[in-house]
């Protein structure tokens, strides 16, 4: 099914506008040291997977032990700071592997996800 030409043009223009911010987003990946990216590449080569999938999988596996730590933290600021710090760290390390347009799209779609689940957000 093809989209109407006007809608297709609007979507294409919007995507081009979003991708125009790519140079700014690439400079914002500051928390992930280069050794992590090279380690992810080495692990991906060793197990025969592509780098992006390996980074996502390692981020997922790292989130589970961090979730256990989160359960023992007291409610309030400690949980919020812990969640924010490690969430941004994992996000930056996963997206640093995907320096191209896909990384920007992943970041923007992750910002859109909460608003789709809860229309009153933020």
For residues 42-78, one letter each, b for 16 or more C-beta atoms within 10 angstroms of the residue's C-beta and e for the rest, the string is eebeeeeeebbebbebbbeeeeeeeeeeeeeeeeeee
Answer yes or no: pTM beyond 0.75. Answer: no
- Res. 63: pLDDT tops 70: yes
- Res. 67: pLDDT tops 60: yes
């Amino acid at each position: 099914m093809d989209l109407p030409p006007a809608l297709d043009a609007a979507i294409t223009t919007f995507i081009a506008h979003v991708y125009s911010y790519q140079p700014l987003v690439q400079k914002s990946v500051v928390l992930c040291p280069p050794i992590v990216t090279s380690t992810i590449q080495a692990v991906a080569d060793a197990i025969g997977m592509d780098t992006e999938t390996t980074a996502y999988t390692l981020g997922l596996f790292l989130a589970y032990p961090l979730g256990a730590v989160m359960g023992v933290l007291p409610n309030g600021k400690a949980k919020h700071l812990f969640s924010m710090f490690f969430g941004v760290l994992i996000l930056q390390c996963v997206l640093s592997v995907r320096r191209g347009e896909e990384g920007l799209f992943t970041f923007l779609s992750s910002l859109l996800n909460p608003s789709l689940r809860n229309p009153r957000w933020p």
